[in-house]
Amino acid sequence: MLRIAAEATLGDLELDVAAEVAAGECLALAGPSGAGKSSVLRVISGLLRPRRGSVACGERVWLDTERGIDLPPDERRCGYVFQDYALFPHLSAWQNVAYALTRLPRRERRPRAVELLERFGLGDRAEARPRTLSGGERQRVAVARALAVEPAALLLDEPLSALDARTRAAAGRELAAVLHAAGVPALLVTHDFQEAALLGDRVGVMDGGRIVQLGTAGELAAEPASPFVADFTGAVVLTGVAAPAADGLTRVTLDGGGEVTSPEPAAGPVAVTVYPWEIALAPRGTIDPGSARNHLDVEIVSVTAVGSRVRVGLAAPQPLAAELTGPAVTAMHIAPGQRAVATWKATATRLLPLTPQGSDEVRH
Amino acid sequence: MRSAWFGIATGVALAAALAFLTLPVVAIFVDSPPADLISALGEEGALDALWLSLKTTAAALAIIVVVGTPAAYLLATRRFPARALVITLVELPLVLPPAVAGIALLAALGPSLTFTTGAVVVALTFVASPFYLRQAQAAFASVDRSWLEASRTLGASEARTFARVAIPTAVPGLMAGGALALGRALGEFGATLMFAGSLQGVTQTAPLAIYQRFSTDFDAALALSAVLVAVSAAILLTAKLFGGWDAADRR
Amino acid sequence: MRWLLIAALLVALAGCGDDDELVVSAASSLTEPLTTCSGDDVKLAFGGSDELAAQIRQGVKPDVYAAANMELPNELYEEGLLEEPLTFAFNELVIAVPDGSEITAVGALARPGVKLAIGAETVPVGSYTRAALSRLPPEQERKILGNVRSEEPDVKGVVGKLTQGAADAGFVYRTDLVDGLKAVALPQRLQPNVAYGAAAVKGAGDDARRYLASLNGGACAEALRAAGFGTP
């Protein structure tokens, strides 16, 4: 069990976090850049000393400002995978890994290092210098090196962001397996919610130095605690003013035009969230105005293939997006400039109260 | 049209600089036929002077590197109060004219060392250290911070990080600093004369020997100068090769 | 190096084409008197007489050359670089010791452990010193030379080693003594004839000759006497 609590002032940012990660679990901290995510890793590893805080890993206390305990990084057995991997350029792959093996007698270091590399499929690249390795290979050497310490906890800083899109998916699956096999608490930071969802057993969304919501990826997506979290997890966010309606539902008048209905009670300025995969498109004039679905007149702005799905950008005039399959897009002859109707269930319409600052959080 | 003019102007500037810097050096070799060079070397005192210069410069350089490398590392990687002041202080000998350096050493250490070879080493160390310290500091400062941090997280102490990561990756800069310091030490004259004196075999280094010869035996001065130039060039080339090879091996 | 600075200075001055200014190269032992007696339109460059002679040989052209011996001006005269030199002053070679020193005679310099500073062979004060020592019995001369710790390129350097407390004794001109040093006179039979020679450099104008006249019997001769030099 890894426990951390820390308060620190970093330039303009006030960091104030607390979290627990169980052995074998991976907690992913996700948030925009500048949210303080990497600082959390630096506090845990001992590279940054917070104004106040404590870090404990299992039985061992690594940091406790109240009691004056502050172990230097080399005394905390914390495996750290840096954002650019930080492989030593003057050492070969196996030498990089062996750097952590000083507890072994000299003649055992190379075999053990090569063994670790082989686990990552890099046995034949053991003699290579980092500059001759591909991005994916470097990432694996970095992870192998961090594991060589036999760490009590694993820290990873944007482990997939330096990889190109194609390598990322495979590397992500590999890394998820490695994390589970390692059996130690793992803390990972990323700016990409999808990456966090893929690798983390739980996800913590960070903003402005604080963890604003903690839960599984599904919980965060289904019940975002704030428009910021909703936006960050990929939801469509529309703003408007809500008022209770005669039938017990809530009617929301959207800024810029349009009206939607939601079963959630609310009044005043609200953010309306719905997920792109919950939105369907239909040609104008085909919708029965009495149905229980929300309808919004939209203009098609863009059509983008994302993996096996197609993301259709829309304007109502507020921006939103629908996710459809390729065949559906072709069948409906969807193209930019056309007019259509976006529909989704009233029950899929979530409402979140909007503070005046909150409307700023919704990035349009 | 305009870009052609600029290219020509800068080309002329470079040619002028090159000529100004290389002509005197070339003149040394042109003026003395090789036979003269060799015989002048065999002359009384010439070899003594060269040997003394090499010995004292090597000793000074050893002190500078052993003490200066960790010092430069501290300056480059830690923030501490009055850091800017400390940096200015260690750079001071750089801007001191050699005679002032000599006076400074006398004022600080008194005449007890005068007339000894040790005094020569002290004078050379004093004037040459800032050259090394500045380069070494810059070299360590440009080492990627994340390598040093990674080393710490992998269980290495500060000392091990310094020895196993910082120094190997900073080597090209350290070599450059060493070459500069060596050149400065080899050519030191004023401070040595004031602080140590000039006696063949004990304190008369090559520059002092050249100075003594030039008024009565210009050819001998030329010969000794030529040898000194050749030695300096050889050292500089070695340092460049070493540093360059390492730099190509990185990243 | 000093030679570079002096040469640069002389070249700049001589080549300046400023006819109002007289450029004088003089032995460093003449520093104090000549600085006092020369007018504002005279530019003085001091250094070891041998060093200044070498510069003239290399093509540097002051207007007047004043050395601490007659040999160097005569050599340059024979090489056609100077007009005929004349003797304008005399000096005395003495042993300088710090005040309170126990050295009172030249014999004391032969004692083991005595630290001696003299001029380099090629500098007049150095050759005078060796000439004086050569008149001693060979064993004594050997011991004294064995005590030499530094051969300075300039008499000011010898004085410096004495004033900074590094040397126990040194051979300088009487006119070079400063506060804190006292002279031990040499026996007459050892005293070399220290005659200072000066001449106009070939091609110099009348101002040069006027300056030489001043050295010989004019304002500068006065200054030399005041400083302790002998005059003819």
Structural domains of chain A sorted by starting position, each given as residue range(s) with its CATH number in brackets:
2-222 (3.40.50.300), 227-361 (2.40.50.100)
Examine the domain organization and report whether B26 and B45 are in the same domain.
no
Q: Per-residue pLDDT tens for A332-351?
A: 888 888 888 888 888 888 88
> Residue A188 above 90 pLDDT?
yes
Q: Does residue A359 register a pLDDT over 60? A: no
The number of folded domains in chain B is: 2
| Shared-domain flag, residues B17 and B42 | no
Share of chain C above pLDDT 70, in %: 91
- Output the pLDDT for position B143: 94
User: Roughly how many angstroms between the first and final C-alpha of chain B, as a whole number?
Assistant: 40
**For C150, which of B198, B207, B216 is closest by C-beta distance?**
B198
Of B146, B151, B168, the CB nearest to A84: B146
If asked whether residues B226 and B103 sit together in one domain, one would say yes
B226: left (phi over 0), alpha (psi -120 to 50) or beta: alpha
What is the domain-level CATH number for residue B153?
1.10.3720.10
The CA R_g of chain B, rounded to the nearest whole Å, is 21
CB spacing of A130 vs B150 below 8 angstroms = no
Mean pLDDT to the nearest integer, A51-56: 93
pLDDT in tens, C67-125: 999 999 999 999 999 999 999 999 999 999 999 899 999 999 999 999 999 999 888 99
C-alpha torsion sign, points A262, A265, A268, A273 = negative
Contact criterion met (CB < 8 Å) for C152 and B198 = yes
pLDDT above 90 coverage of chain B, percent: 45
The HSE-up count of residue A47 (CA atoms within 13 Å, CB side) is 23
Superfamily for the C93-185 domain: Periplasmic binding protein-like II (3.40.190.10)
Given pLDDT bands bounded at 50, 70 and 90, which one contains residue A135? confident
The reply to whether B96 and B85 lie within a common domain is yes
**What pLDDT score does A227 carry?**
81
Under the banding of pLDDT at 50, 70 and 90, the label for residue A143 is: very high
User: What pLDDT is recorded for position B78?
Assistant: 87
What are the residues of chain B with a beta carbon less than 8 Å away from any beta carbon of chain C? 106, 110-111, 114-115, 189-190, 193-194, 197-200, 202-204, 207-208, 211-212, 214-216, 218
- Those residues whose C-beta lies under 8 Å from the C-beta of residue A292, and which sit 6 or more positions away, are A345, A346
**Cβ B147–A86 below 8 Å, yes or no?**
yes
Check residue A192 and give left, alpha or beta (phi > 0: left; psi -120 to 50: alpha): beta
Do B55 and B132 lie in one domain? The reply is yes
Those residues with Cβ within 8 angstroms of residue C209's Cβ, 6 or more apart along the chain or in another chain: C200
Contact C151 B214 (CB under 8 A): no
For residue A87, pLDDT beyond 80: yes
Disruptive mutation site among A71, A85, A99 for chain B (greatest number of B CBs within 10 Å): A99
B143 shares its domain with B76: yes
Q: Whole-number mean pLDDT of chain B?
A: 87
Please report the pLDDT score of residue A364 as a whole number.
41
8 A C-beta contact, residue A334 and residue A272: no
- Please tell me if residue A276 touches chain B, with a CB cutoff of 8 Å: no
Cβ neighbours of residue A27 closer than 8 Å, sequence gap 6 or more: A19, A21, A185, A186, A187, A188, A200, A201, A202, A203, A204
Q: Give the domain ranges of chain C.
A: 2-90+194-227, 93-185
**Distance in Å, alpha carbon of B20 to nearest chain A alpha carbon:** 40
Query: For an interface test with C, which of B215, B224, B225 has the most C Cβ atoms less than 10 Å from its Cβ?
Result: B215
B138 and B200 in one domain? Answer: yes
pLDDT band at A206 (very low <50, low <70, confident <90, very high): very high
Same domain (yes/no): B109, B39: yes
Contact C62, C153 (CB under 8 A): no
Q: Which domain holds residue B72?
A: 33-248
The reply to whether B2 and B79 lie within a common domain is: no
Q: Report the C-alpha gap between A110 and A116 in whole angstroms.
A: 10
For the ranges A162-171, A243-252, A349-358, C145-154, the lowest mean pLDDT is seen at A349-358
Give the C-alpha separation, A241 to A266, whole Å.
Answer: 9
Q: Which pLDDT score is estimated for A148?
A: 94
pLDDT at site C10:
67
Least confident of A21-25, A105-109, A231-235, C62-66: A231-235
Residues B130, B116 within the same domain: yes
CA gap A256, A317 in Å, rounded: 6
Residue B32 pLDDT class (50, 70, 90 cuts): low
* CB pair distance less than 8 Å for C53 and B215: yes
pTM above 0.90, yes or no: no
List pLDDT tens digits, range A221-274: 777 888 888 888 888 888 889 999 888 889 999 988 888 999 888 888 888 888
Residue B110 sits in the same domain as residue B2: no
SS3 B59: helix
Q: Are residues B159 and B210 located together in one domain of the fold? A: yes
Stretch B180-186: mean pLDDT: 90
ipTM confidence? 0.80
Class (C level, CATH) for C2-90+194-227? alpha beta
Q: How far is it, in rounded angstroms, from Cα C200 to Cα C82?
A: 6
Q: Is the pLDDT of residue C15 over 50?
A: yes
Residues of chain A contacting B144 with CB distance shorter than 8 Å? 86
> A88, B249: Cβ pair inside 8 Å?
no
Chain A residues touching residue B154 (CB < 8 angstroms): 74, 99-100, 145-146, 148-149
Token pair for A64: 């406790």
pLDDT, position B99:
84
